[in-house]
Structures are given as structure tokens and as C-alpha cells.
Structure 1
């Protein structure tokens, strides 16, 4: 994956977005030139958000056409109409079966939508795909199922038989995968667990990325490691101009958490070659305090939410580190980590706009629903900037394979 974050490959390419959520993955891919022909999502509030922001997700909206957002069950969507015409299929199959905060049921969970993602590949036959999921899928307990998911993506025409147990289907896929001659549709798949902070996102957010290219596409693609690091951030705070940039008084310059631990090991001569991790302060410092804004504020989705408190294991995000992973939650307030932790130990919830900044959504992107619903959408999202980094790289390799 070429490390070229600033450049977007704007040649327009056709795509379909599955399990779109609030649109984080889709926005980043749109910035890389992928034009969605169809967006599929079952949640009403997410669909309202997608329709409200269709001009951000699709260039053709500006040409007088509307973005096709299909609100409903993906199991009833026919993708055969796209047969061979798409450059990309993308999406985030529901991750609850694998989430570290869930019940870890995996293949016994009806919410596992990976089979539908594979069906979309089988019917649409795109040149490439990008799927993402939570890091829980890489838990040791799911090792065989992780292999099963990947082999289904590599060989989408090897369909499970009625009443065939997934382990029996896995065995068939393994035998097919190791054959010398494999007729039909196949993809070459690369997977990696990525920390969004390493790519310039102001949040320590780990996601699994599956990137695949159809066998006839000579992509020669790989992931890179990102060009931002915690070491560079700590060096900037110790010896660089981090505090001066933010006009922080010397008495208030305080390292906390992991940055404080690392600071004891770095000297001024050990300046890293990488860029500093982006911090929560980098992301939200220019926004007014939501406690002092009115609902009529010109800043969209930036109102104060009362009731934040700490409890064991949930202490909020330090201002001068990347934020902890935003969480969607399923019971009441979504997660205990969707909070800002001040130097004095007090906490408050992030506003929707602040959380959107941490997920690198553009400021003109409007979220629909109450605060808890908006935070659920954001807690499930892919950071826009991470999606663009991946999208730029995929687009570049598709172009290279066509002219090479």
C-alpha cells in the first residue's frame, strides 16, 4: 500500500458499498475516486445520514442524479446486475459476532453477514474489494473461522451446501485452494490489522482490512505500516513545538498515559523519522467547549451531553494522546470511553462533532438521530482518512494493472 496520503486518484471508478453505516469507509473511497452505484444499509438512522450527505459520498449527485441508498435487508438484494462492471465492492459486515465487547458467537450468530458479502462478490464479480472488521476476528478462538472467512472471499463460487457445517465447507475450500487448476472466479486476498493512529487519525483504533483483487488484475499490492508513530509524538512534546503550536502554558504541559512512560526513554538525539501521532487536542482544539454552545450553534452536531462518569476500565481519553477507540455500545450510554479526560481527572462526553473529528469525518457531514444514536454510528465507523489511504492505494494499483 503506497504511503501517499495527500494525493487522491481522481479517475472515477464504479463501486458498490455494503453495510455502509454512517459512511466513513464510503467517504474515504469516494475521495479516492470510487463512485458508488448502490449503497446498502438496513439501519434507518444511518440511511438518513447517508441521504443527507449524498453529495459527499457521490460525485454524480452534483450531475443531477441521486445516490441510490437501499434501506433494507441485504439478503434480498440482487447484485447480478453489476456482473463484471464494478471496479470495487466495499463494506463492513456487521461485527457484533467478533467484537471484544460482544458475546463472541461468530459462526453461530445470525448477525454474521460475511456470507452476504461473499455473495455480492460472486454475483457482481468486481475487480477488487475492501472489507473491514473489528480486531476481535483475529482472536485465537476464531482462528479457524478467520481462515474460513478469507477462503470464502478468495473462492466466492465455492458455496456451502444446504445443511453443510462450516468446518466441512472450510475443508472443501482448503482442498480447492491447494489445487493446481482452479476454474472459475478467484481473488487474491491480503489481510492486515491496522492501527488508524499510524496513518494520521487522532484515535487509537484497530481494524482488520481485507483487500482482494480478481485473479486477472495484476495488482502487486501490499499494506504499508503507516508513517505516524507514538515515538514521534512524544519527541515532539519533549523537544519539538507541540505545546507552542497549541499555545499551552508551560505550567499546563503535562504528559500522561503511555506518552509519559515513553518519555523516560527518549533523548533529543533520538528524533524519529516518522510523523507524530495526531492527538485529541490536534483534532478538537479549535472547537468551542460544547458546554458553552447553544443548540443553535453554527457548528453542526456540537451540543453538550451530560452524565459522563468514570468507572474501572473506562476513564476517558487523554487530550494530548490519540483518543481511545470510540465505541458503539448496545446498552444505554455507548461505551465508557467516549469521553474526554482533563488533566485534573474530570471527564465529559465528546460531542457528536468532536467524535466525528476523531473519526476524520468532514465538518459539513451531518449526523441524524439523538446523541446516543449518532455515537453508535460513529463508534461503528471506519475513519475516513484511513479509508482514503487504502482507497488511494487500491485505485493506483488498478490503474497500474490496466496500463502495465
Structure 2
């Protein structure tokens, strides 16, 4: 028995020693972090420091104010905090507290007291009461009790109101779906119900709502005003199988059920659809969302967004050949050939843009360039921010290279994030790799993704999808064999079996992947090309056609990637025609966002904005499903026939 007690005592003593040591380490790290932030604020403002720490150091927003405010609130108290092994939550509470509370708490810690966040709150409350007379303390407590009762009453009223609106919405849906007759009795009952709800509505939200055109789209005021108009319309009897109502002359507003659904507190169904999760196809066209795209290039992102259920209001592209490529393949698209710096995006505000997207120029940030950042004349990051502020979309997605996050550009990125936050957007920065979405290319990129505050937390980045992973051999099998090269089958097999490692040497998959597409025509960079030749293919120079046996007989032969092959590796459909010479087409292909990557991110954004959940693997496995005019690319055959020998060529 004594032995058991000794073992238990030793275990407890050992655990205490280790835990105390860990507590000391955690406190030391908090203090070290505060010291680093203090150094940072010697050269930048507090606002800039917060933006930098969030964008470049991935510091959680809940910690930013604590570290930034540490110097002013707790400078000189480091040794007391260290001795008391104070945790971060307590440090945070002390920074947020008033001076008297901090002084009292620090004195207690110095005396050996163990303090947690509840103690800080209790001390703060006690000190505040000490400053009041007995009568003032009682008055404050009474106000608190009355406020609590009012909140409870208001909560009960809102719950009751939500239930009544839910009942009205259900009846309106039943009429629309013809499950409830539009008889005089039914109509009179719904009109009476809407009239009573309108009285409650105005008691909660008031009856003075500005004209809708004067309110920013997607704002809370706009949503309340639309619901008010819809409720009045129901009261007047303007409902039935046609649920659409006008908000202003010439404007056919949303269906009545949509704005009223927002008042129910329920998860909004996608009106007219029986299923809203696990969707393996896109919803009908009337549910599509509106997109505005900057720097559209040859259409990689535009195609992906189209496959994800977005309809383009306009695509803006400066390069004449890229703009011509867009028009040639999609004559119905509104392609605007212009410099984004000269466009007033407020013209698109009234069109209710759901998504603003763009592959902003990467040359200012690419690691193989001069990395001039904001000093580069091609830098359009702030133009993207301006477009968000002026067009007021519900969400935005900007794609760029990883070099954007280099420390040399941290101030520029922090300024952009700060302006986006002021524009009412919750913004995140994500890394994404094309290989994770069924593209035979190791292409890592940065996405700056933002949503308006009313959609905060709704967006989820699409997960990696190893189920649809492929390799360069399977992706290009038919194109490599198009001119009768007898070694194509063996080349494909080699590519299938070749292991691919990431830049850290970790095995990613079995099966070779292309590197990021580059638009070089002449001799490539020696070391880079040598490495890829060893892997079984080369990028430069760009061959005019697929290899033949005659080509393969030459000493040192390694197959190169033609323009059609490069387009395939960027996930363009084979029928997509490019306008321009070889150099221009190569550049258009290089700069494009891989179609399937844009589709995956677009579907994730569609889910966030519409509340639908897609089966991403099913949709990405069948490119173009549900879209008119898209080619569904089947696994390529190695068989050589008359059709497979026709190689796609750029239109000059």
C-alpha cells in the first residue's frame, strides 16, 4: 500500500514539475512575442502592425490587440508576469482592463496569488462599485436587471415573429408549387396574416425604410427594406404562382419568398430545388450567380467559373489577342478590352455582382522576375481593391503567385487587406495547388478570398481530391501519339510509374507532373531544363507538332510540350481556340488559371453564397457537366487513328 502511495506521489510531483516548466515557457513566449511586436511598432503604426501580423504572420485576429496594446498597458510588468507564470488569456484580460484593475491584479500576482480571467473580471467589477455610492450601485443593478428582462422579452418576441413568418413562407411556397389552391379564402387568409405580420415587423424594424436604390446592395438595411416591400406586397394580394414582384420601375426584383425567408431564422432552402446537398450537377439557370472578371486572359478562370454556375456580366482584358480568344470561343460573353485602371466599376454596382474575380498580373511578385511589387507598373493589386469598393460584390477571388507573400511586399499586402476590411469584407489568404484538383501540373498559387460581412464564415476552401489525381502521361497520351511516335506508349507508362516529389523531397504521388507552365519559346534555363529532361520531357523550345519516329531517332531526343499539350495541362478543353502567334498563345496559356482549379473554388463560393452543397469530386471528375458547349474529356486512348492525328493549332 505504501509503495502505491509513493508511486502516485512521485507521478504527481513529476507532472507538477513538467507542467510548471511548460507554463514558464508559454509565459516566456508571450513576452517574447510582445517584445517583437513592440520593435515592429517602432517603425510602423499600430494599424499597419495588425495588418502585417494577420497577413504575413498568420496571427489570429483575437490576439492582435493584445500584443499591439501590451507596450502601453503592461510595459515594465514583465518580471511579475514571468514570476506568476501568467497565461495568454490573463495577459489579454489585463491589456483590455482599466489601469486600476491592472494595478490591483499585478499586486496580487506579485504577492503570489493565482489569477485567472474570472478573477480579473471580478476585481474590475468590485473596483467600479467602490467608486459609486450605495444608491448608484443599486441603480446600476436595477438597470442591469431591467435590461436583462427586456432582452428576454425581445428574444421571445423575435422567436414568435420568426415562427409566424415561417408559417407564411410555407404557405406561399405551397401556392407556388400548387399544393395549395389560390382560392379567395386562402388569399384572404394570407393577406390578413401578412397584415398582422407587417404591424409586428414595423414595431421591430420601423416603417421608415429608404428607397431601395439608395441602399448599398447586400447591406442589412437593403435586406430589411426588401423584406418590408415583399410583406406589403403579400398584404395587397400580389402573390400566387408568379412570385416575382417589382421593386422599382422596370426592375423585376427577387421572388417574395427569398427576402421573407431571411426573417424566419431558418436555414434558407434553395427555392424550387428538392435537394440542396450532395449535388452532382448545377442547378437550373435561374439560380446562377453573376460574375465580373478582371484580367480575364484566355479564359481559364472564366471557364471554371462558368462550370461552377456563374454567368459573366463582363470580362475585362487588356491584351488584344487574349480578348480575341475570349470572343472567338464565347461570342455571347461581354468582353471589354480595356485597362482596368481606366474603368469606373460603380457602373456594375446596380447589377448586383455576386463575385468579382481575377488573375491579377503576377510579374511584380514572381520569384523569377525583378519583384518590384507595388513599384512595378503592372501591379494591379490596389486596382482589384478599388474594384471591390466600387462594384460592391458579395464576394471576390484574386489569384496570384506565392511571391506575393514575400516579406518585401508585406506592407503592400497589409495595406490592401486593411482597405478591403474597411470596404466591409472578411478576407483570407489561401495557398492552393492545381495537382490537388485533377490537374497534371504542380502549380502552387495564392488566393485572396473575401466575402461581405453578412456571409462571414460561409466560405470553405475546397478540399484536396486525391480521388481524381492524374499524371502527365495519362493527360497527354493521345496528343503524344498523334503523329505516330511508336515510343508514346512506353513514355506514358514511364510517366505513370515515375514518383513525384515536392520541393521538400516528400513523395506526393506516383505519376509525373508538369511544373508550372511557362511561356518561353527559345532555349530554357539550363539547370531547370536539364532537370525536366531527366524526368522525361522538356519545355523549351516549344515544338510545332507532336513527336514522330524521325524526331525520336535524333540523338538526345526528349519529347517537348506543344501548345495543345500545354493547354491540356492547364485544363482547357481541346476545342478552345487561341488567337495570336506562338509567343502570344504560349503566354496566354501560361498566365491562365487552370480551369478545374477555378471550377473547384467557384463551386465552393457558390455554396457559400447560395447555401447549396456540391459533390465536388463528381463534378470535377466530369469537366463541363451541366454546361452547354463544354467538352467532356474522356481518358485518352493510345490508339492512333485519322482523327487523333489532328493537332490543335493556334489561330494566327
Q: TM-score range by the shorter chain?
A: 0.5 to 0.7
SS at match of 2:304: helix
1:316 is matched with which residue? none
The partner residue of 2:603 within 380, 392, 396 is 392
Q: Per-residue displacement from partner, 1:96-135 (whole Å, max 9, x unpaired)?
A: 1001111011011111111111111111101111110011
What do the CA deviations read for 1:179-231 (whole angstroms, capped 9, x no partner)?
Answer: xxxxxx31011211111101211100011011111112355222244122xxx
- The Cα of 1:26 is off from its aligned counterpart by 0.8
- Aligned residue pairs, count: 289
- Structure-2 residue corresponding to 1:73: 339
Q: Tell me the secondary structure at the aligned position of residue 47 of structure 1.
A: helix
Per-residue Cα deviation, 1:39-64 (whole angstroms, up to 9, x for no partner): 11111110111111116xxxxx3xxx
Structure 2: gaps of 5 or more residues? 1-276, 486-509, 538-551, 613-652
**Which whole-Å CA distance do the structure 1 matches of 2:524 and 2:327 have between them?**
24
Task: Assess, with a 3 A threshold, how the Cα gap between structure 1 residues 370 and 6 changes in structure 2: closer, same or farther.
Answer: farther
Q: Tell me the distance in 2 between the aligned counterparts of 1:373 and 1:76.
A: 24
- Residue matched to 2:577: 366
**Larger strand proportion, structure 1 or 2?**
1
* Equivalent residue for 2:536, pick from 313, 324, 342: 342
The residue that corresponds to 1:140 in the other structure is 407
For 1:286, the equivalent position in structure 2 comes to 478
- Aligned CA distance change for structure 1 residues 78 and 48 (closer, same or farther; 3 Å): same
> For the Cα contact (< 8 Å) 1:190–1:222, is it kept in 2?
no
Aligned to 2:78: none
Is structure 2 residue 513 aligned with structure 1 residue 322? yes
Gapped regions of structure 1 (runs ≥ 5): 56-60, 62-66, 156-184, 229-274, 294-318
For the pair shown, which has the larger CA radius of gyration, 1 or 2? 2
Q: Please report how far the alpha carbon of residue 148 of structure 1 lies from its aligned counterpart in structure 2 after TM superposition.
A: 2.6
Alignment of 1:266-305 (within 5 A): 275=467, 277-289=469-481
CA distance in 1, matches of 2:312, 2:525: 32
- Answer whether contact 1:9 1:396 (CA < 8 A) is retained: no
SS of corresponding position for 1:130 = strand
Tell me the secondary structure at the aligned position of residue 559 of structure 2: strand
Which is helix-richer, 1 or 2? 2
Tell me how far apart the structure 1 counterparts of residues 384 and 283 of structure 2 sit (CA, whole Å).
Answer: 25
Between 1 and 2, higher relative CO (CA 8 Å, sep ≥ 6) is seen in: 1
RMSD between superposed Cα atoms in Å = 2.9
Report if aligned partners of 1:43, 1:71 keep a CA contact under 8 Å in 2.
yes
Task: State the shift of 1:291 in Å.
Answer: 5.3
Alignment partner, residue 125 of structure 1: 392
TM-score calculated relative to the size of structure 1: 0.65
Provide, for residues 69-122 of structure 1, a one-character-per-residue CA deviation record: whole Å limited to 9, x for no partner.
111211111211211511111001111100111101101111111111111111
Q: Give how far 1:332 is off.
A: 4.9
Does the C-alpha gap of structure 1 residues 352 and 5 become closer, same or farther in structure 2, counting only changes over 3 Å? farther
TM-score by length of 2: 0.41
Q: Is the 8 A contact 2:291 2:357 kept in 1?
A: yes
Contact 2:395 2:449 in 1 (8 A): yes
How has the CA–CA distance of structure 1 residues 382 and 196 changed in structure 2, closer, same or farther, with 3 Å as cutoff?
A: same
Q: Take 1:386 and 1:334, find their aligned partners in 2: how far apart are those partners?
A: 27
Would you say the 8 A contact 1:135–1:206 is kept in 2? Answer: yes
Listed one character per residue, the Cα deviations across residues 341-379 of structure 1 (whole Å, up to 9, x for unaligned) are 538974233111111111111111111122222111111
